[in-house]
Amino acid sequence: MKAIILNLFIAVGLFLGGCSDQSSLTGPSQQDPQSSLIKLGTSGLHKPIFISKTIDGKKGGSIDIVGSFGKKVKVNGTLTVPAGAYKGKQTITVLMEGEYAVLDFGPSPFTFDIPLNFTMEITGIDLRGINKNKIHFVYFPDDGSSQPVEMQGTTVADKKGNMLSVYDAQLPHFSRYGWSK
């Protein structure tokens, strides 16, 4: 009888252990969220791109995101706030630190009545060894996953392998966005 009870406890323990979120017996282990990010190839110390602008949500407006990291990597983009996107005035921030092709928009969290439009080109990066057809512009929730962004336009990695771009991405809220492979 003791052997049956012991075997039952062992079986239940194995079953419960195999069903945990951290189990890798039945599926792949969770990968490092940064491993899917596109690196800009900048090394050493560089100044982040930081922009802050107050926009009246009733009237709308735009923010130009222009800068560089080192001598090679150039960033040129626009965040457009359509009229009626939100109520009142809001100070909007954009931060791009420069190690990865990632932007942090703030304040976060902040959801819009009408999605904002985002377009950007990043030139001077090295995309050798990356399947350009698998590059997407995505949203990075706090859980470390990535989710596709609705596009009116396209995401492109040029044939020369030195430019990333996104055209007419629809941002329904502020958070972290970027290019993933």
Of 172, 156, 171, nearest in space to 38 by CA: 156
| Average confidence (pLDDT) over 45-64 | 91
| Average confidence (pLDDT) over 91-95 | 94
What pLDDT is stored for residue 94 in this prediction? 94
**Residue of 5 and 158 predicted with greater confidence:** 158
In whole numbers, what is the pLDDT of the chain averaged over residues?
75
| Average confidence (pLDDT) over 83-106 | 91
Query: What are the residues whose beta carbons fall under 8 Å from the beta carbon of 103, sequence distance 6 or more?
Result: 65, 94, 95, 96, 120, 176, 177, 178
Rounded CA-CA distance 97/23 in Å is 34
**Residue of 90 and 32 predicted with greater confidence:** 90
Query: What are the residues whose beta carbons fall under 8 Å from the beta carbon of 146, sequence distance 6 or more?
Result: 33, 36, 136, 138, 139, 140, 180
b/e string for 9-37 if b means 16 or more Cβ within 10 A? eeeeeeeeeeeeeeeeeeeeeeeeeeebb
Lowest mean pLDDT, pick from 55-69, 129-143, 152-166: 152-166
Query: pTM for the whole thing?
Result: 0.73
At 158, the pLDDT band (50, 70, 90 cuts) reads low
What pLDDT is stored for residue 120 in this prediction? 92
pLDDT in tens, 59-84: 999 999 999 988 889 999 999 999 99
At 90, the pLDDT band (50, 70, 90 cuts) reads very high
What architecture is the 31-180 domain classified under in CATH? Sandwich (2.60)
Question: What are the sequence ranges of the domains in the chain?
Answer: 1-29, 31-180
What pLDDT is stored for residue 27 in this prediction? 34
